[in-house]
Structure 1
């Protein structure tokens, strides 16, 4: 039954992405603003998140929304835990501002889905270009952040299994420092229901915890990322303690004398 439910969810996404993509492409041809195209894309992402509940029993709950800026002009860099595809759909659906992902250009080749994200104001890069790719992230990231668009990045770079910790890279904090914008850490327990590289979803609740913005002025990118990692990983252990080995209690100090 879980396989069948997951198959129906996948088919639902494959079918519904077609009309939404056609609308986005039409709006682009007609000269509609990026904000208008984003609203259409966001509606499809939200629909897919809802559908994961209908078909697969995957729900979510969010805490910390009050930590997010409420001004249309306050840009932030969201730094999120990355365990599955689920958060790439969920976070744009729940955030109050348009988001711009930094993603590899190969995704543009996916029919309909790739055409959609290629028509949005996001940042696609060729990872083979190294420093040139990062310069593009900084240039376009600054432009978007000044417009009030929030840039979202996964500092671990790729999806990690439940209970594991990837290598936190400093590209995101370097961007935030250079742009003079705060970073907002986000913990997501999506692998409880939708493990990485898994087709079958498991019913349950995905917890999302949003931290307070961390100022970047005067910070160094390594120690800033260390602070982000410490918050995210501590929060992951709080939200999903079953996924992490228990920390052994310290041994008592030897008796004196």
Structure 2
């Protein structure tokens, strides 16, 4: 039954992706707001269809911590779920993604229409320059910058190396950073076809000021809050690693 539910979800997700990608391509000559509305619908459908077919519910805590003005969001990344959920949570977003994602048929085309900051990671210096320049432009236009500081999806119970790119954008633009913790990998594991029923928790932390701080200092504050919050919300899903109990990660984080 788990496999059948997951298959039903992916079938609906794929059909919706193709339709929305074509809609975005057709809407290219039209105002950007129309393409953005199409992608927002795609995210709403994906999250709602996941709840209906696989029983994956969600809750958001700390919504009141979001500033009124556009800021940089630095989020934990465990599955594809948060890429859709954050799109729904924030009023206008500009995603920081690796350039190769734009090459994926249909999905990449729709992503491209959202004007993401697509980085060529093979050239680190150029990628950093592009991130700071385009990030500043997007923030000035009122778009929230969303970046995963660990660079890729990290399995539940694991911890990646936090990079300072998002903090550099925020410090350069003089805007705060909003840390986000999410335990989605316990229900939709990285690179897994199966989706397990349960309730994902997405926690929005208090905005971290960048005034008078270096990017490295801001990144350390982001990491400390996210990993401490992960220790609090983790270990409740069916896909928590069998060889690691929550207590195994609580100690080092608290220390």
The two structures have a TM-score, normalised by structure 1, of 0.91
C-alpha separation in 2, matches of 1:240 and 1:130: 33
Deviations 1:136-155 (A, max 9, x none): 11111100001110000000
Aligned to 1:161: 155
Give the deviation of 1:112 after TM superposition: 1.0
C-alpha separation in 2, matches of 1:69 and 1:229: 19
Give the deviation of 1:35 after TM superposition: 2.6
Give the deviation of 1:223 after TM superposition: 1.5
* Within-5 A mapping of 1:84-123: 84-95=79-90, 97-123=91-117
Matched, 1:77 2:72: yes
C-alpha separation in 1, matches of 2:185 and 2:176: 27
Give the deviation of 1:241 after TM superposition: 4.5
Give the deviation of 1:111 after TM superposition: 1.1
Give the deviation of 1:25 after TM superposition: 1.4
C-alpha separation in 1, matches of 2:157 and 2:9: 26
C-alpha separation in 2, matches of 1:127 and 1:206: 30
Aligned to 2:25: 25
Give the deviation of 1:201 after TM superposition: 0.7
> Aligned residue pairs: how many?
242
Deviations 1:68-105 (A, max 9, x none): 123xxx2200000111111111110222x111111111
Q: Runs of 5+ in structure 1 lacking a partner?
A: 249-257
SS at match of 1:140: helix
Give the deviation of 1:244 after TM superposition: 2.4
| Greater radius of gyration (CA) | 1
Aligned to 1:191: 185
SS at match of 2:195: coil
Give the deviation of 1:187 after TM superposition: 0.5
Q: Is the 8 A contact 1:162 1:192 kept in 2?
A: yes
Q: Runs of 5+ in structure 2 lacking a partner?
A: 237-244
Give the deviation of 1:16 after TM superposition: 1.0
Give RMSD over aligned pairs. Answer: 1.3
C-alpha separation in 2, matches of 1:80 and 1:211: 10
Deviations 1:35-94 (A, max 9, x none): 321111011111000111111110100011111123xxx220000011111111111022
Aligned to 2:210: 216
Residue 179 of structure 1: which of 168, 173, 180 is its match?
Answer: 173
Runs of 4+ in 1 over 3 A off after TM superposition: none
Aligned to 1:51: 49
The two structures have a TM-score, normalised by structure 2, of 0.91
